[in-house]
């Protein structure tokens, strides 16, 4: 580390410690700094991070995103000698205490790193900085730690001490110029969240609810807990410790295990889930796993399925690190409840191969493809109920549903979001005859209709004959 370069840098920029002009006047601090540098201990809180950082090298793969809740708060590092480096970040404002401040006008992210663009309201080190645009880069974000650097480049006239403005005239100019790859972020401060600033974890409303996948998985997410289950049993569950956005419709959820049926000694360990393509009713989700990580060795008696610390889990279990290779497409049934006479689980009477599970929100049709004593059940489709009707005699009726998830999405893409009818008759409580409009056997089918009205018109109000398609089911 070049001591001359660092001292000169402090006197001529606001990148590293805040207002270096003011810091330069602190003789005690300089003495402490020189002593630390002499023994190489500066690396405790200072990283030289030049062009060799492959994880944060390119500006092009950062995407515009909402600033993560985990980033907000008060962050600091106590250098001793009476100097505390402190940053205050909220939804609207970024403040480097005793140095500069500005209104946040942009945020771009990639995994646990990102750029924050501000429009300066003050900067004690430069001339006429107000309204100029400036960029801060952060990385290695967890709920309790953060590495951060303000833009600076010795060859940029904007950062000429006493002459430059410390920023650019436009946001676009600042964001295109002030990048890691262009050499504007050479030194990072390793910060800790202040102990009295413990953020509440914000879970997006769209994430909350009960999700089902075509593979039979069930995910239950609320404000404090994440649970993964299969076949009615809990696979793992834990307390949500952190939620960090990864772009506009994706993110990481960190949990601390309270239960894991696969690994021993997992309780208290930390684990990360990644999701993407989030909407109000669909998303794709993946739990961290890596065959080369001993903690995920299913044959090992010492594997825990997690990490000892939150920081280790969040820095290790990333998309770039290869921990999220398989995603399950899931659907959340948010709509109106449609009470119907068929609620429950049904199996076909003759072959005992077709399973129909019906709630007040959805229909799930599955099939046993094992052809032997050990069942191997695959889901054919899951449909969202949009209407339920019964005849006056109550042993006949129909349910209109929309295809939500299909067992082979690629082969049946035209079926998704179309409507059809589940028709029943001779219902006596424990037995019933069932048929699906457009299907001869409950497990092969074609695209439905474009609307609820069209499905009813074709299958209920028209001349469609279900008699040849009806199959016997029992509870």
Mean pLDDT by 10 residues, the chain (475 residues): 27 33 34 32 38 43 81 89 90 90 92 91 88 95 89 93 90 95 93 71 81 90 91 89 85 93 90 93 93 91 91 92 93 81 89 88 87 75 88 78 78 82 88 90 84 92 87 92
pLDDT at 71: 87
Q: For 18-80, give the DSSP string.
A: S-HHHHTT-HHHHHHHHHHHHTTGGGGTEEE--TT-GGG--STT-EE-PPPGGG-EEEEEEEE
When computed from its CA atoms, the radius of gyration of the chain, rounded to whole angstroms, is: 29
Scored b (16 or more CB within 10 A) or e, 71-100 reads bebbbbbebeeebebbbbbeeeebbbebbb
pLDDT at 394: 62
pLDDT at 188: 95
Residue ranges of the domains in the chain? 3-193, 209-332, 344-474
Which residues does residue 213 pair with via DSSP β-bridges, in sequence order?
Answer: 330
pLDDT at 414: 83
DSSP summary character for residue 157: G
| Closest residue by Cα to residue 149 from 71, 87, 72, 199 | 87
SS3 118: strand
Q: Which two tokens stand for residue 370?
A: 């094992």
CA 469: distance to chain centroid? 43
If you count them, how many residues does the chain have?
Answer: 475
Measured CA angle at 196 (ends 191, 197), to 5 deg: 60
CA 1: distance to chain centroid? 38
pLDDT at 110: 84
**How many Cα neighbours within 13 Å face the side chain of 259?**
11
Whether the Cβ atoms of residue 338 and residue 399 lie closer than 8 Å to each other: yes
- Residue 312: its H or E element: helix 310-316
pLDDT at 125: 85
Tracing tokens 């771009």 back to the chain, one arrives at: 108
Alpha-carbon torsion 153, 155, 161, 165, what sign? negative
| Closest residue by Cα to residue 139 from 106, 115, 175, 174 | 115
Write down the CATH number for the domain with range 344-474: 2.40.128
Whether the Cβ atoms of residue 65 and residue 112 lie closer than 8 Å to each other: no
Alpha-carbon torsion 318, 321, 323, 328, what sign? positive
pLDDT at 392: 62
Whether the Cβ atoms of residue 70 and residue 107 lie closer than 8 Å to each other: no
Alpha-carbon torsion 60, 181, 157, 136, what sign? positive
SS3 242: strand
| Closest residue by Cα to residue 332 from 239, 464, 218 | 218
Distance in angstroms (rounded) separating the CA atoms of residues 9 and 15: 8
Whether the Cβ atoms of residue 250 and residue 274 lie closer than 8 Å to each other: yes
Distance in angstroms (rounded) separating the CA atoms of residues 169 and 121: 13
| Closest residue by Cα to residue 221 from 248, 235, 239 | 239
- Residue 279: its H or E element: none
SS3 6: helix
Distance in angstroms (rounded) separating the CA atoms of residues 167 and 152: 9
Distance in angstroms (rounded) separating the CA atoms of residues 405 and 420: 14
């Amino acid at each position: 580390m070049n001591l001359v370069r660092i001292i000169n840098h402090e006197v001529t920029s606001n990148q590293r410690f805040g207002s270096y002009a003011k810091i330069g006047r602190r003789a005690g601090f300089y003495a402490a700094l020189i002593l630390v540098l002499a023994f190489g201990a500066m690396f405790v809180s200072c990283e030289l991070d030049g062009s060799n950082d492959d994880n944060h090298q390119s500006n092009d793969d950062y995407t515009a995103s909402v600033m993560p809740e985990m980033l907000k708060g008060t962050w600091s590092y106590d250098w001793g000698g009476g100097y505390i480096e402190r940053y205050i970040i909220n939804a609207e404002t970024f403040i480097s205490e005793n140095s500069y401040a500005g209104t946040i006008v942009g945020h771009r992210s990639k995994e646990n790193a990102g750029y924050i663009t501000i429009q300066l309201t003050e900067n004690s080190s430069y001339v006429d900085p107000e309204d100029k645009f400036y960029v801060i880069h952060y990385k290695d974000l967890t709920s309790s730690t953060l590495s951060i650097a303000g833009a600076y480049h010795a060859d940029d006239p904007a950062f000429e001490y006493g002459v430059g403005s410390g920023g650019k005239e436009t946001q676009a100019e600042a964001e295109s110029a002030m990048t890691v790859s262009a050499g504007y972020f050479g030194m990072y401060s390793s910060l800790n969240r202040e102990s009295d600033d413990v953020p509440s974890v914000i879970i997006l409303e769209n994430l909350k609810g009960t999700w089902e996948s075509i593979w039979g998985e069930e995910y239950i997410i609320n404000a404090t807990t994440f649970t993964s289950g299969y076949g009615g049993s809990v696979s793992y569950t834990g307390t949500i410790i952190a939620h960090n956005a990864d772009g506009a419709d994706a993110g990481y959820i960190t949990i601390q295990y309270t239960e894991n049926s696969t690994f021993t000694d997992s309780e208290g360990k930390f684990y990360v889930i990644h999701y993407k393509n989030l909407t109000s009713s669909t998303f794709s989700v993946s739990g961290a796993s890596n065959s080369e990580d001993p903690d995920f060795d299913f044959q090992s008696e010492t594997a825990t399925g997690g990490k000892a610390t939150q920081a280790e889990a969040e820095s290790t279990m990333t998309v770039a690190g290869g921990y999220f290779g398989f995603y399950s497409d899931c659907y959340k049934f948010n709509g109106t409840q449609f009470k119907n006479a068929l609620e429950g689980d049904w199996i076909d009477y003759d072959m005992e191969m077709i399973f129909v599970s019906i709630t007040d929100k959805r229909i799930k049709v599955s099939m046993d493809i094992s052809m032997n004593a050990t069942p191997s059940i695959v889901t054919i489709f899951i449909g969202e109920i949009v209407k339920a009707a019964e005849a006056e005699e109550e042993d006949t009726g129909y349910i209109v549903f929309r295809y939500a998830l299909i067992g082979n999405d690629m082969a049946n893409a035209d079926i998704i979001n179309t409507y059809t009818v589940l028709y029943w008759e001779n219902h006596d409580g424990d037995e019933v005859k069932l048929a699906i409009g457009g299907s001869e056997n409950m497990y092969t089918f074609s695209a439905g209709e474009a609307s609820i009205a069209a499905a009813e018109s074709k299958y209920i109000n028209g001349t469609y004959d279900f008699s040849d398609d009806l199959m016997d089911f029992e509870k």
